[in-house]
Structure 1
């Protein structure tokens, strides 16, 4: 029997799949990279407002969510943000740090896709685009994958098809269906880095659509200090996207609208400016429309001089721990990534290979490893793709 024409078939030409294919190809492996779309890296192209927030210099395992918080340590430690930056610089791509360690292309996100395609060409990777996958089989020694015009085989198969976030780009739950067919467990997928929606009495805040402020947002034990944005449906902005990954249905989130305030700050404001109002006091640090809405919700519209200290203390406490109970999120359609996915309990942290299914690997967003906003998920894609490539 003649040997399979490929050493590895990689399903999904997104960030993780491109990286894995390029590295494996340059290691001398015969690689076929398959995608149902007509171009690779579609999610890369739209990321970071078209400039691709391609990594974060503060990458560390504690910035990732997973049922096993230690799982990502191996891959992230072996292929770092500095390694990817070096690759970017070798290709002459100019970049800059925006905030909080987030690195972006000076030009276009398409430069990152072109770089990865170039790396695949160096590794002589065969790219099969516009190729939806049909039946997949495994006879114990090789995997067979039915493509539109042929059936291909290889001893190793890599699942790099991501999760269902942003379905307009063709995202589906294919990775989970395939994993389950091979007996791998799947941690319930859910939208992450996603705007949250408000209903009922809290829907009154929709009148603030377009207003943003720097706050500390909290969900469970997680808290993030960044901008929050009121929308016509609820809450968004970096702070909200961050806590959305930790939020669970029917649980509240907390917002500290005055994160720099000292204890007793409102009583001090009363002593120094007794004729002022809460609205004018808040407007010193918050947008005027938000200051007005908060003062009205607290029913404190008169002069501070006429308000008892106890009420002012109560108001200050509420402003530092305002509770919203979202009635949902904007779902996978608006989620930047998917939390949950193929269980890390069934994968090797070293090789991303299934423990009980030799030759089957899963990488990137398809796996139950989800990073913070700000380039962390791309770094997981690069690192997990690189780690799996070492074993192909």
Structure 2
């Protein structure tokens, strides 16, 4: 039996960050990873360049049953802290839209940085180690992984959620949490394309068409809107704006799309005065891709010149374009979801240390926990922040 001060399950973003901090504190750490190499999700992120954080990251960019839970960790380890780490390792990076930071080179640089941060004499990253049993007796956790037994007084769950199963993702973290009596908030796909059916199915004929929109979903405190691009696909809707609102959408609800985000409520009436011989189709073609413009014009049905259209009809058309209602019949599921909403309930954990309140020595971090960020580097920032909070507390 191999004995350690800490066993971390999962060599992803949160697990490696936690291991680095714990190892730097002098603890002997085993990181057990079932894949053949560490950081597989990091490597595919951001098109292979890793959108490793967002300069705007704050608690307001995260969803959770307890929206206050993430505040402590995020405040103690900020995007600036991680940027400073990247700079110390001389990794070149650039900012894209909306505060998103990417490596100039490869996501492998981030994985290597995390491994380099783990003191070689203290941290063992053990791959091809699939956990088959975990027991807790006499203040010690015993973990069986690939026919090897590991023992430690502290165990960290950092195995993520079930999104992107082709990368080996599973709901293992939730099964383990339930084994120890911890509640799990029902997991569902997040940052995921939405599928269309029924009357909306005709919009799937626009597959490949993209346009800037404002997308809205949710209700009450869970309501949100995002002004980014939407993409029509052969199954429904995707693109950054749709991925963002998918985290707020629930089955059976509608979503609203504003197709011309800059237009006000009276814009068509104003055009009628300036261009009385124009019609809706030609105007929409001036602002939107032709196929999308034609589809919207066909459904609104105003084919005559503006001079022959009553103001109330133009106002109605403008209102429809400002809040076009879609009724998604589902999502493309965990296979296409970038992350998972839900997970180990934050009510079970200390927001300061990530330790389970009921089970001393048991911790949960990263995507395994019911904290989910927006698209654009926010989920990595939660991984870094929760990993640091836990790693510091382990010593």
Show the 5 A alignment for 1:288-307. 288-307=290-309
Over the aligned positions, Cα root-mean-square deviation in angstroms equals 1.1
Provide the residue aligned with 2:81 in structure 1: 83
Change (3 A) 1:123 1:20: farther
CA distance in 2: counterparts of 1:228 and 1:345, whole angstroms: 35
Counterparts of 1:127 and 1:153, CA distance in 2? 15
Correspondence for 1:254 among 239, 250, 256 = 256
Range with bigger deviation, 363-372 or 263-272: 263-272
Please name the residue that 2:216 is paired with: 218
Q: Which runs of 5+ in 1 are unaligned?
A: none
Looking at structure 1, the residues matched to 147 and 189 of structure 2 have their Cα atoms a distance apart, in angstroms, of 35
User: In structure 2, what is the equivalent of residue 284 of structure 1?
Assistant: 286
Alignment correspondent of 1:321: 323
Q: Distance in 1 between matches of 2:92 and 2:122?
A: 26
- Is the contact made by 1:195 and 1:240 (CA closer than 8 Å) also made in structure 2? yes
Q: Which residue of 1 aligns with 2:192?
A: 194
Task: Spell out, residue by residue over 1:255-304, the C-alpha distance to the aligned partner (whole angstroms, 9 max, x if none).
Answer: 01111112311011111111111111112221111111101011122222
Number of matched residues? 390
Q: Name the structure 2 match of 1:151.
A: 149
> How has the CA–CA distance of structure 1 residues 123 and 254 changed in structure 2, closer, same or farther, with 3 Å as cutoff?
farther
Q: Please give the secondary structure, in 2, of the residue aligned with 1:100.
A: helix
Point out the more displaced range, 37-46 or 272-281: 272-281
Moved over 2 A (4+): 121-124
1:311 is aligned to 2:309: no
TM-score norm. by structure 2 comes to 0.97
Q: Structure 1 residues 49, 123: closer, same or farther in 2, change over 3 A?
A: farther
String of CA shifts for 1:330-349, please: whole Å, max 9, x gaps: 00000000000000000000
C-alpha distance in 2, partners of 1:294/1:155? 62
Q: Which residue does the alignment assign to 2:378? A: 376
TM-score (norm: length of structure 1):
0.98
* Map of 1:272 onto structure 2: 274
Moved more, 267-276 or 322-331: 267-276
1:348 aligns with 2:346: no
Select the residue among 156, 159, 179 that pairs with 1:181. 179
1:235 is aligned to 2:205:
no
**Which whole-Å CA distance do the structure 2 matches of 1:206 and 1:301 have between them?**
23
Aligned to 1:241, the other structure's residue is in SS state: helix
